[in-house]
Each structure stands twice: as structure tokens, then as C-alpha cells.
Structure 1
Amino acid sequence: MTRHPSDAPTPPPAGTDNGPAVSREEFDALFATVRAWGRWSPADRGAWNRVTPDLVRRATALVRSGTVLPMARPWDTSPGPDNSRPALHYMSELGDLEAAEPSAHKDFIAVDYHGKAVSHLDALSHVAYRGQLYDGRTARDCVDAGGAHFGAVSALGPLVTRGVLLDLPAVLGCRWLTPGRAVHADDLVSAEQALGVTIGEGDAVLVRSGSLRRRREEGAWDPGAASAGLHVDAMPLLAGRGIALLGGDGDSDVRPSPVEGLHSPVHALALAAMGVPLLDNLDLEALSAAGAEEGRYAFLLVVAPLHIPGGTGSPVTPVAVL
């Protein structure tokens, strides 16, 4: 039986290894291996095209207890080492200024959401590699001051599919993975076996490192300098399984990056090569606890990004239904 991470010790220092190192030449060969250009229409929905009505129906059959678990972090208006661009929230209208009934209260919100503090979805226009977006589109031709004209979040629409949680601290018997700890393909396979799930076609894969629990217990740090996440050698496995979405409680990349000269190689592989949108900065703690309690790690997942024409992504509250 899998231990819940609340009962487990802190991971050993050896967990900080983010190797092996990968050269740019090796990375380019890996990019070519997982590349899925020219595969789908419409192209700017990328791997979301894998989710057919039949897969949606099968995903809804996973609902048993009816437990609904939102996975977004709170709107964060406080600056910190992981929040250099805090969100804005202020009241724009107060009811005591109105004579008419009923009175109204209005507020304003704004956020530069691509970063480490806001739960958000990365659309395919968010990242280019060697000047190219997914499907070989030239980034300069597709993204300008008016927004994205290919791969915008508005092209994606809502996603309803089977979600799979790979709860690595629960599998490894630790409270969280040490920042800098790389998650490799064999770690993902071991997690599948331990948790009784198998990643399949059209799935949304969520990888928990326990980073939010660490933040709550030990305080914030700069995850751009050190964070647990996927090593690039895990991506061929996910490409081969045919996933539609990838996410986690970080931004999926291990840092420091194992690839010379690339700060976010998993982003490049997922978005620009595979056409797989990313969910960043999720709160997976309640889902982890529910998975341990119910003894299952597959669930119905609903993701509904804002309809932003030209947007490179969207703040989002993904919802798991068990």
C-alpha cells in the first residue's frame, strides 16, 4: 500500500541530482524523435485533438464518490521570491456610492500569469524553439503585438478527459522531492506500477513533487533556480503514450536545466514539438490526499481556460472529479 506523504520523512540529499546532462545536439535529436508536426487538424489544438467524444464518455465513467477538487492556487497579490509580478486586485466600485437599489460592488483583477505563482495553462503559442512554434510555424509570423495568430488559447476550448496523478512523494515515501530533483522515465513507470494506473491515449498527466507542501512548511524560494521536475528523458515515454495534457505543482521542468543553454527544455518539447499544452503551478495537495484515501489515481479532469483571442495561455482552475 502506498504511504501518504504526510506520514513520510523528508527526502534524502541525494534527491537533488538533476542529471544526466544533455548536450544541445542530443536535445535536438530528442526533439526530432517526439515531434508531432502535421498530425492534426486544426493544428493549433495540437494533442487536444486526441480527446474524442468516446474518450470523454469513458472519462465520465470514472466518477464514483462525486468528490470535486479544484487545483488552483490562490490569487497571489504579495511579492515574493516565487512571485516577482504579483497579481492585482482592487475594488473599482463600492455600493455606498450609489443611490439606487440594489447597490453593487465591483472589483478589478489583472495578472501577468506566466511565472511561478499563478495556476495557468500554456497554449501552443507560448514557447518556440529555434524560432518555430508547434507544427513548424515561424514564431515571428504567428505572434506579434496583437497576440498569437496561431496556437492561441482560444483555439483550445475546454478539455474534459481522464486525468492521472503520478504522486511521486507518496511513491517514494517522502514529504516532497528536493528542489533540483529530476524525475526520469523510470520514475514515471515506477509510479504507475505503485499507484495502479497506466497512462493512456488522450490522458492528462499531473506530476506531483510536493513543492507546494514544502513552500507552506518551509517558506517560498526561487523555483526558477531550483525546482523538482521532469528530465527530458521522460518525454519520449509520454509522447509514446499519446498524452493530451501535462501538468504539475511546478512548471514541469527540473531546474537547474540538464540541457546546456536551455532554461525550459520540457516546455520546448511539450509545446513546440509534441503539441501538448501545459498546466503550471497547480495545488495537488488535496488530490493527493483524496487519492490515498480512495486508493485510486485516475479521475475525470475538467479544464476550461478563459476565451482570450490571441492569448498565449490563461489563468485556470482545473477540477478533478473522483
Structure 2
Amino acid sequence: MRWRQRPEGSNWGDFGPDDQLGRANLIGPEQVRKGALEVREGVSLCLSLPLDYPGGNGLNPRRHPPVLRPTRRGDVPYVNFPLGHVYTGATDVISDDQALLSLQYSTQWDSLAHVGALFDPEGDGRLRTVYYNGYRGHEHILGPQDHGLPARGDDGAPARYQPVCCEGRASDESVALALGVEHLAVKGMQGRGVLVDLARAYGMDFRDIGYDELMRAMERGGATVEPGDMLLLRTGFAGLVLSMQRQPDAHRLHHSCAALDGGDEKLLQWITDSGIAALIADNYAVERHPPRRVPEDGAPYPVLPLHEHCLFKLGLPLGELWYLEELADRLHASGRTRFLLTAPPLRLPGAVGSPVTPIATL
């Protein structure tokens, strides 16, 4: 057993001691059939931004747009390459490429290995790096460095610490031996989607959405969710990103549109109680980041409280930067909120996130 005590409000162990799917377990044959019953028009809509959006790295300095390059045989690039150079008399012409890609640059899934927490799973007073269902950092989620735990100075502020290279690991190698995104790929992530149009309810102004605001938006749009549904939130953010033509105005984007208030305990409890199997938004982090409410007494706190609640405690996958404009308009015009959603990530073993090309079928 990887843990003797689980975080308060978590569901660790509820789907089995070795579960790596979390709330995606709630998507079963019944939920897929419910999604299929929403197909009336036979219209398919792509819910992904082009994967080279937002553009640049102004929104996140760690993430860069994809770079396409030709594959090579020796020093020869295989783009417009005539195979007659290899096979005498051949008439084929080959183009073949590869990508250097940040897996969470654009429209994406967060796997359950994306966000963990410093937690005491053994009940012995020692904090450890832990992810959903007790899987451990540096044991199940491996990186090129063991960053250690940030000690606290006399003033209570985190002290700086020196990362230590993990023996036997390459300097830039990382892999999720557990909780990787490939588990969501095998699951398929297909079922019934439910859209809540926050932009239609509240406009494009900067606004935090707590439980009360979410309930009002759902009531206004006639949206309800059942266990196993995948909930999608349109804020207008991705549409704004697309309008900027790969030249994102970071200040404007960070001061526009609604985002969930991850510090609203009532909202987090509703996410638990609702039984939704995934939470998806068209904005950068689903929740407001950085948070506008932090403890004034210096007590430990999560910078991403909704991520901690969903990924770490519940095993609830998060989708970010999905493009929902056309879907929202079509659903509103027909008085609907539900549709068939098909959104498997890449089956890339060991990845902690993945680009996705979701398809809504109406």
C-alpha cells in the first residue's frame, strides 16, 4: 500500500488500490450511449485550436510553440525527396517530418501526473512528493533532478534549496511510470459532454466564478450534469487567443474573461459531489491563476487549488485551451447543452500531458 492516510476530501482507493484513471472510471458504456443519443444532426466540430497557438511563449515561458522539421537519412532531409535516389527507376516522392512539441502548449489534457502535492501519506509527519492515489514523485514520476523539499526559514518563507541530479537519469529525461496520459488514451475519453457558456452569461470581462456564479450560469443555459458527464466551460478566452493571430497580448488575456475560483470551497465540493468525469475549459488553466486569495498568516497553501483538488485528490482530468466558440453558438441556436464528445489524448507512454483534437458530434 502506497499510503496509510489519504488527503481529506480525496477518493484515493475508491476505484482500487492501483487505480490510475480516477474519475474517468465513471465513463462507461452507459455514458457513451448517452453521448451517442445526443447525435441528431450528424455534424462534427473540431474543438482544438491550431497547435501553434497561442504563439510565442509570453503566456508561459516554459512552453514553446511546435517546431516542424524533416526527418533525415544521414544528412539528407526527406521533404520532396525522390526515391529514385535510393531505388533505381523509382518515381515516388517522399515528404516526412517530425515535431519538437511542448505537450501542453495549446489545446491539451492534463494527466493525473501533472500536479501532485507535498503530503504525509504515511502519517509519520514527513512530507513527500505525492500524486493521485499515493503514487510517488521520484519513484513513479521520474525526472532528471530530485528537487528536495523546500525548507522554511525563520521568517516562514521558503528557503532556497539545491536540486540534486538523480543517479542514472539523463540530464533532460522524464517519464511517468504511473498516471501517464496513455491511460486516458486507452480509456478513449468518449462520452457525453455538457457545455456551460460562461461568456454568454457574464460577458468577456475579468471575473472569478465560484459555486454561486456557476449555478446561475447553468440555470440560465438549462445545463445539468450527471455522474460520468464531461463538463466544458466556455469563457471566450480561446476565441480571444485565436483573434490575436499568434501574437498574444499577455496583459489583455490575463485581464479578460471568466475563470473558476479555485479557492471557493463550495465550488470544490460541488465538483466532488457532481460526479463529473472530466473538467474542461477554453482558458489557460481552468482556474484563476495566480490566485487572488492567499493565506495572510503564511500558512502552506496550493497555488493551484482547483488542480490540487481535481488531479491530486479526485483523479479528475483537466482540459485546457479548448476551442468552444462554434460549438457554443450551435448549441445555443438549437437550445441544447449536450453532445457526444470524443477526445482521446496521444497514447504516449510516460507523458504527463498531451495535445488533443477533441470532436463534438451534434
Q: Indicate the TM-score class for this superposition, using the shorter chain for normalisation.
A: 0.7 to 0.9
Number of residue pairs matched by the alignment? 285
How far 1:150 moved relative to its partner? 1.5
In structure 2, the residue matched to 1:152 is 180
In structure 1, the residue matched to 2:250 is 222
Is this contact kept in 1: 2:12–2:134, CA < 8 A?
yes
How far 1:217 moved relative to its partner? 4.7
TM value normalised by structure 2 = 0.73
Is this contact kept in 1: 2:302–2:308, CA < 8 A?
no
* 1:239 and 2:251 matched: no
Is this contact kept in 2: 1:177–1:211, CA < 8 A?
no
Structure 1: which 5+ residue stretches go unaligned?
A: 1-30
In structure 1, the residue matched to 2:359 is 319
What's the secondary structure of 2:190's corresponding residue?
strand
Structure 2: which 5+ residue stretches go unaligned?
A: 1-6, 72-77, 85-89, 119-128, 144-173, 295-300
In structure 2, the residue matched to 1:67 is 43
In structure 1, how many angstroms separate the alpha carbons of the residues matched to 2:81 and 2:60? 34
In structure 2, the residue matched to 1:253 is 287
Q: Of the candidates 80, 83, 95, which is equivalent to residue 105 of structure 1?
A: 95
- Greater Cα offset, 297-306 or 97-106: 97-106
What's the secondary structure of 1:140's corresponding residue?
coil
TM value normalised by structure 1 = 0.82
In structure 2, how many angstroms separate the alpha carbons of the residues matched to 1:132 and 1:222? 32
Q: Of the candidates 54, 58, 64, which is equivalent to residue 30 of structure 2?
A: 54
The letter of the residue matching 1:247 is I
1:32-181 pair list within 5 angstroms: 32-33=8-9, 35-41=10-16, 43-76=19-52, 78-82=55-59, 84=61, 85-92=64-71, 93-99=78-84, 100-114=90-104, 117-130=105-118, 131-145=129-143, 146-156=174-184, 157=186, 158-172=188-202, 174=203, 176-178=204-206, 181=207
How far 1:113 moved relative to its partner? 2.4
In structure 1, how many angstroms separate the alpha carbons of the residues matched to 2:254 and 2:205? 15
Q: Which has the larger radius of gyration?
A: 2
What's the secondary structure of 1:108's corresponding residue?
strand
How far 1:164 moved relative to its partner? 0.8
Greater share of helix residues, 1 or 2?
Answer: 1
The letter of the residue matching 2:325 is E
Q: Of the candidates 213, 224, 234, which is equivalent to residue 187 of structure 1?
A: 213
In structure 2, how many angstroms separate the alpha carbons of the residues matched to 1:76 and 1:198? 34
How far 1:91 moved relative to its partner? 3.3
How far 1:107 moved relative to its partner? 1.5
- Paired-residue identity, %: 28
